[in-house]
C-alpha cells in the first residue's frame, strides 16, 4: 500500500525550492497536508484491517450457507470507507481547484481523478512547471495558451472534466452567479471563510486576497502530490473492493472459478464458527436478507448473493453429514479441490470424518496417525490447530461405540462398526415444498443427486428468504454442474495416497 509518505524528500525539496513562501506559510501548508494525509492513512489502516477480517471470514466460512451479516457489514463499512476516501480526495481536488492558479491544474486534477499513471503525472507536472516559469517571464499577465490547450485537450478526453473556477474563469461564473468558491455567502477559499453580502464583493475579495501568487502555486504543488498519492491509493482500494465484490458475487458465472463447494448443503449447513470466542463482533444475528442490501449498488454485480459464496459466522454446529452420509461422501470427494485450497472447516462431525477416513482406506482400518494424516491431507483446515482437532479425534474414537479398536501386529488400528454408526443416526429424510421448489429450479440434473439428497435438511428454510431467487439458483445449478463435471469420482481408495497436499491455498 502506498502511503502518503511516498512523497520523497527530494520531491518535497523540489516543491519547496520552487516557491517563495515564508517558513510560517510553508509550515502551515505542510501541516494542513499532513493532517489530511494522516486522516486518510488512519482510514486506510482501518480499511486494511477490515479487509483482513473479511478475508479471514471468507476463508473460514466458505461452507456456511447463510450470507453472513458480519461479512456484509464489513463490506458495507469498507464501501463507506471508500466513500470517505473519495470524499477526502475530492477535498484535495477542491482545494487544488480553489487555488485558482491556472487552467493547467484544472486539467491536471481532473485527469488525476481518472487515475493518472505516475509517468503521465510527471509529464504534466513538468509542463505545469514550465508553464508557470513562462508565465513568470511574461510578467504573470497572460496565460500560456498552447500548454493550456494541450492539457485541456487531455482532460477533455476523459469526459469528466469538471469546470474549474480558475481566476480567469471566474468572470464567466459571474454570469451564472454560481462559483464553487462562493457558497452561502461565504468565501470557500481554504482558511478564509470571509462573509460577503453579494457575489460582486466576493469576486473583488477573490481577486485581491486570493490572487495568483507563489503561495497559491506552492499550495497547488503540494496538493498535486497529495492528490497523486490519494488517487493511486484510491484506485488500488477500489480495485480491491471490486475484487472482493466479484469474489462474493459472480464466482458461479466465471468461466473457471476458484474451487467451490459442490454440495449445496455444505453451504447451507454450517460448521461451527471457527472464529475464536474472543471475537465479540461475531455474535451478530444471522440474516439472509440483510447482506444483499449494501451490495446491490454495483450495477455489474448480481443483486442476489449466491450462498455458495457467502458464509455465515453463526456458531451453528449442525452438520448434515451425520444424517446423510452418502451426501457427505460425495461432498468430500467432489469438493476435494475446494477443501484443499480453502482453509474451511468441513461441515461434518468428527465422527463422520473419522468414519469417512477409515472407509476410504483399502483395509477399512486405520491407525490413529493415519487418521490424522487423512485429516490433514484432505482438509487444509486441519493443518492448523493440530492439538485441538487431534484431541477431538481421539475423543471421538474413544467416545463413540461405532469406532472399534482392533489390536494388530503392528499396533492398534481403528475400524468402523457401521451398524453402530447407523444406530446413532436416525434417517429422517422428509421432503419439503421448499426443497421441491429448489429442485425444480435446478432442473432434473442427474449430477445433482448429491445436492438433492443433501438438500433435505432442516436448514433449507434459509433459502426461503428473499436472498435467493430462481435466477441465482439456476446460476448455481450451472456452476454446480460445471464443477461436478470437472471432478473424477474414483479417488479416495487409498488411505495414504489418494490425495496430495496442496502447497498453497489459492484463496
Q: Which residues contact DNA (rule: CB under 7 A)?
A: 272, 274, 277, 314-319, 322, 348-351, 367-369, 372, 385, 387-389, 391-392, 394-399, 405, 411-412, 414, 424-425, 458
Least CB distance to DNA at residue 376 (A): 12
C-beta of residue 105 within 8 angstroms of C-beta of residue 144:
no
* Residue among 364 and 474 whose Cβ is closer to DNA: 364
Compute the half-sphere exposure of residue 375: CA atoms within 13 Å on the CB side of its CA. Answer: 30
Phi, psi of 401 (to 5 degrees): -70, -20
Residue 375 beta carbon to DNA: minimum distance, rounded to whole angstroms: 11
Counting every residue written for the chain, the total comes to 507
Q: Which is nearer to DNA, 50 or 373 (CB)?
A: 373
CB of 473: closest distance to DNA in angstroms? Answer: 23
Q: Distance (Å, rounded) from C-alpha 348 to C-alpha 359?
A: 15
The smaller minimum CB distance to DNA, of residues 366 and 475, is found at 366
Query: Residue 399 Cβ, how far from DNA at the closest point, in Å?
Result: 5
Closest CB 368 distance from DNA, rounded Å: 3
In 3D space, the residue among 8, 79, 487, 479 whose CA is nearest the CA of residue 255 turns out to be 479
Q: 127, 111 in Cβ contact below 8 A?
A: no
Report helix angle 368-378 to 386-399, nearest 10. 130
Nearest approach, Cβ of residue 165 and DNA (Å): 58
Choose between 189 and 348: whose C-beta lies nearer to DNA. Answer: 348
Reference 167, options 126, 124, 213; nearest CA is 213
CB of 307 to DNA, least distance (A): 16
Query: Hey, CA dihedral for 441, 444, 450, 454, is it positive or negative?
Result: positive
Nearer to DNA, 245 or 397 (CB): 397
Beta bridge partners of 193: none
| Rg value, the chain, Cα | 31
Write the DSSP symbol of residue 230. H
CB of 409 to DNA, least distance (A): 12
- Given a contact cutoff of 8 angstroms between Cβ atoms, the answer to whether 126 and 11 are in contact is no
Q: Are 361 and 354 in contact (CB under 8 A)?
A: no
- CA pair distance 232, 112, nearest whole angstrom: 9
Q: Which of 177, 205, 178, 213 is nearest to 189 (CA)?
A: 205
To DNA, the closest distance from the beta carbon of 424 in angstroms equals 6
Burial 150-162 (b: 16+ CB within 10 A, else e): bbbebbeeeeebe
Instruction: Give the nearer residue to DNA in terms of CB position, either 81 or 354.
Output: 354
Q: What is the DSSP string of 427-448?
A: ------HHHHHHHHHH---GGG
To DNA, the closest distance from the beta carbon of 334 in angstroms equals 20
Cβ proximity to DNA, 182 vs 421, nearer residue: 421
> What is the H or E stretch that residue 476 is in?
helix 470-485
Taking the least distance from each CB to DNA, the nearer of 144 and 349 is 349
Choice between 338 and 350, CB closer to DNA: 350
Whether the Cβ atoms of residue 375 and residue 382 lie closer than 8 Å to each other: yes
Least distance in Å: CB of 319 to DNA? 6
> In the complex with DNA, which residue's Cβ is closer, 81 or 282?
282
Nearest to 362 by CA among 482, 496, 452: 496
- Compare residues 287 and 303 and give the one whose CB is closer to DNA: 287
Amino acid at each position: 500500500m502506498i502511503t502518503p509518505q511516498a512523497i520523497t524528500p527530494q520531491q518535497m525539496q523540489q516543491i519547496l525550492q520552487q516557491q517563495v513562501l515564508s517558513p510560517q506559510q510553508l509550515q502551515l501548508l505542510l501541516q494542513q497536508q499532513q493532517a489530511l494525509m494522516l486522516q486518510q492513512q488512519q482510514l486506510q489502516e482501518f480499511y486494511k484491517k477490515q479487509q483482513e477480517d473479511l478475508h479471514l471470514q471468507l476463508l473460514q466460512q466458505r461452507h456456511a450457507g447463510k450470507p453472513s451479516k458480519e461479512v456484509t457489514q464489513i463490506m458495507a463499512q469498507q464501501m463507506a470507507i471508500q466513500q470517505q476516501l473519495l470524499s477526502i480526495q475530492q477535498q484535495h481536488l477542491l482545494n487544488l481547484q480553489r487555488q485558482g492558479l491556472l487552467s493547467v491544474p484544472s486539467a491536471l486534477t481532473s485527469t488525476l481523478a481518472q487515475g493518472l499513471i505516475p509517468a503521465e503525472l510527471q509529464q504534466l507536472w513538468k509542463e505545469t512547471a514550465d508553464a508557470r516559469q513562462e508565465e513568470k517571464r511574461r510578467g504573470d499577465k497572460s496565460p500560456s495558451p498552447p500548454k493550456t490547450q494541450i492539457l485541456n485537450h487531455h482532460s477533455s478526453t476523459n469526459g469528466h472534466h469538471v469546470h474549474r473556477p480558475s481566476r480567469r474563469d471566474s468572470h464567466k461564473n459571474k454570469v451564472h452567479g454560481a462559483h464553487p468558491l462562493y457558497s452561502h455567502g461565504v468565501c470557500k477559499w481554504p482558511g478564509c471563510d470571509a462573509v460577503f453580502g453579494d457575489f460582486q464583493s466576493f469576486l473583488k475579495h477573490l481577486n485581491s486576497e486570493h490572487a495568483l501568487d507563489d503561495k497559491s502555486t506552492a499550495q497547488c504543488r503540494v496538493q498535486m502530490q497529495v492528490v497523486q498519492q490519494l488517487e493511486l491509493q484510491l484506485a488500488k482500494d477500489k480495485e480491491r473492493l471490486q475484487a472482493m465484490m466479484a469474489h462474493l458475487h459472480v464466482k458461479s458465472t466465471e468461466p473457471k472459478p476458484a474451487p467451490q463447494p459442490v454440495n449445496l448443503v455444505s453451504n447451507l449447513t454450517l460448521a461451527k464458527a471457527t472464529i475464536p470466542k474472543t471475537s465479540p463482533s461475531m455474535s451478530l444475528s444471522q440474516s439472509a436478507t440483510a447482506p444483499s442490501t449494501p451490495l446491490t449498488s454495483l450495477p455489474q454485480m448480481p443483486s442476489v448473493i449466491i450462498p455458495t459464496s457467502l458464509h455465515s459466522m453463526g456458531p451453528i454446529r449442525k452438520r448434515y453429514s451425520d444424517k446423510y452420509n452418502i451426501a457427505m461422501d460425495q461432498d468430500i470427494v467432489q469438493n476435494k479441490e475446494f477443501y484443499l485450497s480453502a482453509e474451511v472447516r468441513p461441515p461434518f462431525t468428527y465422527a463422520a470424518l473419522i468414519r469417512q477416513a477409515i472407509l476410504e482406506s483399502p483395509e477399512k482400518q486405520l491407525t490413529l496417525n493415519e487418521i490424522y494424516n487423512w485429516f490433514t491431507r484432505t482438509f487444509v483446515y486441519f493443518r492448523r490447530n493440530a492439538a485441538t482437532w487431534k484431541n477431538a479425534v481421539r475423543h471421538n474414537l474413544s467416545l463413540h461405540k461405532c469406532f472399534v479398536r482392533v489390536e494388530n501386529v503392528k499396533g492398534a488400528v481403528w475400524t468402523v462398526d457401521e451398524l453402530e454408526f447407523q444406530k446413532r443416526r436416525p434417517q429422517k429424510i422428509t421432503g419439503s415444498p421448499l426443497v421441491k421448489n429448489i429442485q425444480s429450479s435446478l432442473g432434473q440434473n442427474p449430477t445433482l443427486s448429491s445436492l438433492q439428497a443433501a438438500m433435505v435438511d432442516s436448514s433449507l428454510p434459509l433459502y426461503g428468504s428473499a436472498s435467493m431467487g430462481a435466477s441465482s439458483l439456476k446460476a448455481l445449478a450451472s456452476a454446480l454442474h460445471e464443477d461436478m463435471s470437472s471432478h473424477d469420482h474414483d479417488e479416495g481408495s487409498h488411505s495414504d495416497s489418494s490425495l496430495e497436499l496442496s502447497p498453497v491455498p489459492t484463496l
